[in-house]
Structure 1
Amino acid sequence: MSLQRSNTADKIIVDRSRRHRNSDVARTVRQTRDRLSQRVGNPAFDRELLKLHARAMIGSATAIPLLVVAIAIAGLFAGLSGQVLVWALLTVLCYTGVTIIARRIDETGTLDIKPARTRRNFLFAHFVSGLGWVYFATVGCGDCAFDQFQVVKAVIMLLAMAATAIMAASLSGALIATFGLPILVYAYAGARLDMPSEAIMVALLVVALPFFSYVAYHLNRSSVMFLSFRSENDALIAELETAKAMSDEARRRAEEANLAKSRFLASMSHELRTPLNAILGFSEVMGNEVLGPMGNPTYRDYARDVHDSGQHLLDLINEILDLSRIEAGRYQLHEEQIALLSIVEDCCHMMELRARNKDIRIVQDFESVLPRLFADERAVRQIALNLLSNAIKFTPSGGEVRVRVGWTAGGGQYISVKDNGPGIPADEIPVVLSAFGQGSIAIKSAEQGTGLGLPIVQGLLAMHGGEFELLSKLREGTEAIAIFPPTRVLEELPAMPTQMTTAVGGRRR
Structure 2
Amino acid sequence: MSDLTVEMVQRGRGPSAEEANRRRGIARDMRSAREKLTSATGLERAFDYELLRLYAQYRVGAGIPLGLFAVVMAGASAFWTPPVVAGAWALCIFAAITVISAGCRRFLRQNPEEVSLARWRRLFVAGETVQSLCWSAMIGLCATGGRTFALFGLVIAAAVATMLAATVPAAAVAGLVPLALATLSLLAFSRDMDALLLVAMAVGSQLFFLGLARRLYTSTVGALQSRAEKDAIFAELEQAKANSDEARRRAEEANLAKSRFLATMSHELRTPLNAILGFSEVMKNEVFGPHTAPSYQEYSNDIHDSGLHLLNLINEILDLSRIEAGRYEMNEEAIFLAHIVEECRHMIGLRARSKGQVFHDFVDDSLPRIWADERALRQIVLNLLSNAVKFTPPGGEITIKVGWTSSGGQYLAVKDSGPGIPEDELGTVMSSFGRGSLAIKTAEQGSGLGLPIVKGLVDLHGGNFQLASRPREGTEVIVTLPASRVMDTLPAVDVTAEAQPATVRRPAKAA
TM-score bin, normalised by smaller chain: 0.7 to 0.9
Query: Aligned runs of 1:289-304 on 2, under 5 Å?
Result: 289-304=286-301
Distance 2:365 2:372 in 1: 20
User: Which has the higher mean CA deviation after the structures are superposed, 306-315 or 165-174?
Assistant: 165-174
- What's the offset of the Cα at 1:311? 1.2
1:172 equivalenced with 2:169 (yes/no): yes
Preserved CA contact (<8 Å) 1:412 1:487:
yes
Query: What corresponds to 1:53 in structure 2?
Result: 55
- What's the offset of the Cα at 1:347? 0.7
Distance 1:82 1:131 in 2: 19
Query: What corresponds to 1:8 in structure 2?
Result: 15
One-letter amino acid matched to 1:9: S
Preserved CA contact (<8 Å) 1:80 1:141:
no
One-letter amino acid matched to 1:75: S
SS at match of 1:301: helix
Distance 2:206 2:82 in 1: 27
User: Which has the higher mean CA deviation after the structures are superposed, 487-496 or 221-230?
Assistant: 221-230
Unaligned runs of 5+ in 1: 15-25, 501-509
What TM-score, normalized by structure 1, do the two folds share? Answer: 0.81
Query: What corresponds to 1:272 in structure 2?
Result: 269
CA spacing shift, 1:140–1:438, aligned 2, 3 Å: same
1:288 equivalenced with 2:285 (yes/no): yes
Query: What corresponds to 1:260 in structure 2?
Result: 257
One-letter amino acid matched to 2:407: G
SS at match of 1:380: helix
1:399 equivalenced with 2:406 (yes/no): no
How far does the alpha carbon of each residue in 1:43-66 deviate from its partner, in whole angstroms, 9 at most, with x for none? Answer: 333212222323443565555445
Query: What corresponds to 1:81 in structure 2?
Result: 83
One-letter amino acid matched to 1:439: G
User: Which has the higher mean CA deviation after the structures are superposed, 408-417 or 255-264?
Assistant: 255-264
SS at match of 2:368: coil
Preserved CA contact (<8 Å) 1:94 1:128:
yes
Q: From 473, 476, 480, give the equivalent of 2:477.
A: 480
CA spacing shift, 1:159–1:432, aligned 2, 3 Å: same
- What's the offset of the Cα at 1:264? 2.1
Preserved CA contact (<8 Å) 1:32 1:235:
no
Taking every aligned residue pair, what percent have the same amino acid on both sides? 47
CA spacing shift, 1:493–1:105, aligned 2, 3 Å: farther
Query: What corresponds to 1:341 in structure 2?
Result: 338
Q: From 361, 371, 375, give the equivalent of 1:378.
A: 375
One-letter amino acid matched to 1:48: E
- What's the offset of the Cα at 1:390? 0.9
CA spacing shift, 1:430–1:66, aligned 2, 3 Å: farther
1:34 equivalenced with 2:32 (yes/no): yes
Preserved CA contact (<8 Å) 2:92 2:134:
yes
One-letter amino acid matched to 1:10: A
1:119 equivalenced with 2:121 (yes/no): yes
SS at match of 1:257: helix
One-letter amino acid matched to 2:125: L
1:424 equivalenced with 2:417 (yes/no): no
SS at match of 1:364: strand
- What's the offset of the Cα at 1:446? 1.5
Unaligned runs of 5+ in 2: 1-6, 498-511
Q: Report which structure shows greater RCO (CA 8 Å, sep ≥6).
A: 1
Distance 2:352 2:135 in 1: 106
Q: From 128, 138, 141, give the equivalent of 1:139.
A: 141
How far does the alpha carbon of each residue in 1:109-156 deviate from its partner, in whole angstroms, 9 at most, with x for none? Answer: 6445432343244334334433532543443555xxxx3x45643543
Distance 1:366 1:13 in 2: 59
One-letter amino acid matched to 1:129: Q
Query: What corresponds to 1:507 in structure 2?
Result: none
CA spacing shift, 1:86–1:267, aligned 2, 3 Å: farther
Query: Aligned runs of 1:56-455 on 2, under 5 Å?
Result: 56-58=58-60, 60-61=62-63, 64-76=66-78, 81-106=83-108, 110-130=112-132, 132-133=134-135, 135-139=137-141, 142=144, 147=145, 149-150=146-147, 152-178=149-175, 193=188, 196=191, 216=213, 219-455=216-452
- What's the offset of the Cα at 1:367? 0.7
SS at match of 1:8: coil
CA spacing shift, 1:367–1:180, aligned 2, 3 Å: closer
How far does the alpha carbon of each residue in 1:419-477 deviate from its partner, in whole angstroms, 9 at most, with x for none? Answer: 11122222322222222222222122212212111111111111111111112232211
Query: What corresponds to 1:20 in structure 2?
Result: none
- What's the offset of the Cα at 1:316? 0.9
How far does the alpha carbon of each residue in 1:396-426 deviate from its partner, in whole angstroms, 9 at most, with x for none? Answer: 1101111122211111112211111122222
How far does the alpha carbon of each residue in 1:172-218 deviate from its partner, in whole angstroms, 9 at most, with x for none? Answer: 3213544556777898xx86847546999999999998887676556
User: Which has the higher mean CA deviation after the structures are superposed, 307-316 or 80-89?
Assistant: 80-89
Distance 1:351 1:447 in 2: 15
Distance 2:467 2:149 in 1: 89
CA spacing shift, 1:37–1:465, aligned 2, 3 Å: farther
SS at match of 1:173: helix
Preserved CA contact (<8 Å) 2:159 2:206:
no
